[in-house]
Amino acid sequence: MTVVNLSFAACGFMGIYQLGAVGAFLRHGNMLLASMRACAGASAGALVASVVITAPDKLEHCKEFTYRFASNIRRQTFGPLTPGYDFMMELRDGIEDILPSNAHLLANERLHISITNSRTGKNSMVSSFTSRDDLIKVLLASSFVPIYAGLKPVEFQGQKWIDGGFTDSIPILPVGRTITVSPFSGSQDVCPRHTGRRKLHLRVANMSIIFSKDNIKRLNQALFPPSLPRMQAIHQEGYEDALRFLRTEGWMQ
């Protein structure tokens, strides 16, 4: 049986697409999941990967938190940049509520999180966690976009870290096949179909995406979440794209 991994792209609030894809995997992808060795991700993708590895039973909870978090952002006058609003605190509260007490034990060597050193600008992949708090710190570091999410990078092991999406936005693991999931049209295994005629591919932090109006719109929605009905539609799109992948690969159950 082929060893496979799942990798989830950095994508901000478009992570709701990836949660939809995970829903399809959990419901119809038992053959795939039985072969799964590890999960990887950057930023929101790392959060999705952590749910797959440590708390798949909390998927619905995670979806509702994402909707609530997005709603709180939309209510702010200047979004996450609104004075007095603490983006990272709300994110941490959500992570604390979702991850089980033994999350770090479940995650060791099975969850690979992309983070970026704020001083050197170099990428690091973290897959070893001595405590649940260490795991949460790394997840927060992988999601920290300077200015947007705050002014102080996340400290971990004596160094300061920022969003892993800046340097490796969709990690490929060295052993087995890595199945990639992204809400941006491109060459990833699970992603939206490109509807235009021309396909100009761009390589951005190791992720191949198509330069298009739709992807520009998705990038904006990643930072400034759209309405609840639109987020629900994006979630459903992720679910259906993952189903198409499972059928194409012969993993559908």
Give every CB contact of residue 4 below 8 A, 6+ residues apart in sequence: 32, 35, 36, 37, 176, 177, 178, 179
C-alpha span between 94 and 131 (Å, rounded) = 18
Name the token pair of 47. Answer: 């959060």
Q: State the catalytic residues.
A: 43, 163
C-alpha span between 62 and 70 (Å, rounded) = 12
Name the token pair of 120. Answer: 């050197």
Give every CB contact of residue 228 below 8 A, 6+ residues apart in sequence: 67, 70, 71
With vertex at residue 238, the alpha carbon angle to CA 214 and CA 142, rounded to the nearest 5 degrees, is 85
C-alpha span between 1 and 18 (Å, rounded) = 25
Q: Is 89 exposed, middle or buried (0-12, 13-18, 19+ CB in 10 A)?
A: exposed
